[in-house]
Amino acid sequence: MRYQQLSSKHYTQNRNRFTSEMQKGGLAIFCSNDIYPTSADGHMPFKQASDIFYLSGVDQEETILVLFPDSFNKQYREVLFLKETSETIAIWEGAKLTKQGARDQTGIQTIFWISDFEKILNTILPEASCVYLNNNEHTRAVVEVETREMRFSSWFRSKYPHFQIERSAPLMHKLRAVKDNEEIAQLQRAIDITHEGFNRVMKFVKPGVMEYEIEAEYMHEFLRRGSRGFAYTPIIASGFSACVLHYIDNDKPCQDGDLLLMDVGAEYGNYNADMTRCIPVNGRFSARQREVYNAVLRVMKGATSLLRPGAILGDYHRQVGEMMTKELVDLQLITMDEVKNQNPEWPAYKKYFMHGTSHFLGLDVHDVGHWSKPVEVGNVFTVEPGIYIREENLGIRIENNIVITPNGNDDLFKNFAIEVEEIEDVMNG
């Protein structure tokens, strides 16, 4: 295993937290992701489904977890089904988890091969009062292919049509939004790896380098430090490309005088960092770049101060919009008349800052959580305001990741260069 795994105690506690939220007599089933094919005999790298990973730590395909806390037979209160390993699999792919290895890693004592799943399920289902099925209910999810969990849900509803079905997703969103110390440490590891990549790139960037060369520098540093690579497709955007919010071509040269926006993060153990930094290609900010950069930085610092226990995310985003409005007026990008006559559904500041300021972060880059509930200790958020001036070929976004603490928050990026002078010192040191 490339990364340091979390303790079996952590996964046992996660399962206990989930089962404590279930209805009496409920039985919950979670499935791993598929390995998705490309063409011929190729396939994409495996990425485990976040929910089954959160509950078990198992990071391989063809895995099913059954939680049935009220089962009369204690053996069936937690059951894990695994792909059966073999000598052939070990030769061609590498050995899969053994039953004892799974017990040690997950804390689950009852392990079967997945070929036994239907037989065991038929044994325990008659006791269940309802069945919890899982699905991707993220507010921004657009799923156009059938996942293994979707396929399983359809199969279960067809085969057992008379069972009462409950949804696991609302419970998982509540639980996964609150990170414990082990998860925060794993996130910090991903962030620290990202930091090393950023330091490397600041010393590498100069006029004439290609955006994809910078992407390669990050990848080199991430892999050599135990990451499996980028947490998401990186944005390496110089000049006007920084005004394209989801620019991922990364195929243009970095020109002298341009600013370079880099939205990148390392993955570590399935946890994800999410950083954005802007640096001058030639090592020195122009007066205008400095002016806009510092405006974004002030909004980021102000937004960070608002994120604390009890904050309401809707109110938070409105307050950040007010901060940004002031900065844009001061930059003479919008006028007070435009502000007074703005559409409340699309305020004047949205012309230059059109995306949200924060999202949950964790096992998914846009992690799950309930947006209608007050902010809690253990929530982890990004803070990422930006100003995008297309007419000036200038786009600036600055992004850190913070964890909510009893007295406010802790910036997990606090050791990163972020001030104009800090960035210039590293680039010219």
DSSP string, 347-403: -GGGGT--S-S--B-SSSSS----TTSPP-TT-EEEE--EEEEGGGTEEEE-BEEEE
Residue with tokens 């399920």: 121
The catalytic position among 78, 215, 217, 399 is 399
The catalytic position among 34, 359, 367, 424 is 359
Sheet of strand 235-238: strand arrangement = 235-238, 259-264, 275-280
Identity (one letter) of the amino acid at 397? R
Q: Is residue 59 annotated as a catalytic residue, yes or no? A: no
Any bridge partners for residue 263, and if so which? 235, 276
Q: Is residue 384 annotated as a catalytic residue, yes or no? A: yes
The catalytic position among 76, 247, 293, 388 is 388
CA distance 271 to 66: 24
The catalytic position among 263, 327, 364, 367 is 263
Strands 394-397 and 386-389, bridge-based pairing = antiparallel
Q: Is residue 2 annotated as a catalytic residue, yes or no? A: no
DSSP string, 169-203: HHHHHHHHTS--HHHHHHHHHHHHHHHHHHHHHHH
The catalytic position among 59, 217, 274, 364 is 274
Q: Is residue 62 annotated as a catalytic residue, yes or no? A: no
* Among 303, 221, 208, 301, CA closest to 260: 208
The catalytic position among 211, 221, 384, 424 is 384
Instruction: Report CA-CA distances (Å) from 111 to 102, 115, 131.
Output: 8, 12, 20
H-run or E-run covering 294 = helix 287-306
The catalytic position among 140, 246, 337, 345 is 246
Q: Is residue 11 annotated as a catalytic residue, yes or no? A: no
Residues 6+ away with beta carbon under 8 Å from 71 = 27, 77, 124, 127
Q: Is residue 41 annotated as a catalytic residue, yes or no? A: yes
Q: How many Cα neighbours within 13 Å face the side chain of 170?
A: 7
DSSP string, 233-275: --EEEEGGGGGSTT-----SBPPTT-EEEEEE-EEETTEE--E
Q: Is residue 355 annotated as a catalytic residue, yes or no? A: yes
The catalytic position among 225, 298, 366, 370 is 366
Identity (one letter) of the amino acid at 130? C
Residue with tokens 């991707």: 136
Any bridge partners for residue 278, and if so which? 261
Q: Is residue 366 annotated as a catalytic residue, yes or no? A: yes
Contact (Cβ atoms closer than 8 angstroms) between residue 323 and residue 299: yes
Q: Is residue 352 annotated as a catalytic residue, yes or no? A: no
The catalytic position among 167, 355, 419, 425 is 355
The catalytic position among 2, 41, 162, 337 is 41
Q: Is residue 249 annotated as a catalytic residue, yes or no? A: no
Q: Is residue 263 annotated as a catalytic residue, yes or no? A: yes
Catalytically annotated residues: 41, 246, 263, 274, 355, 359, 366, 384, 388, 397, 399
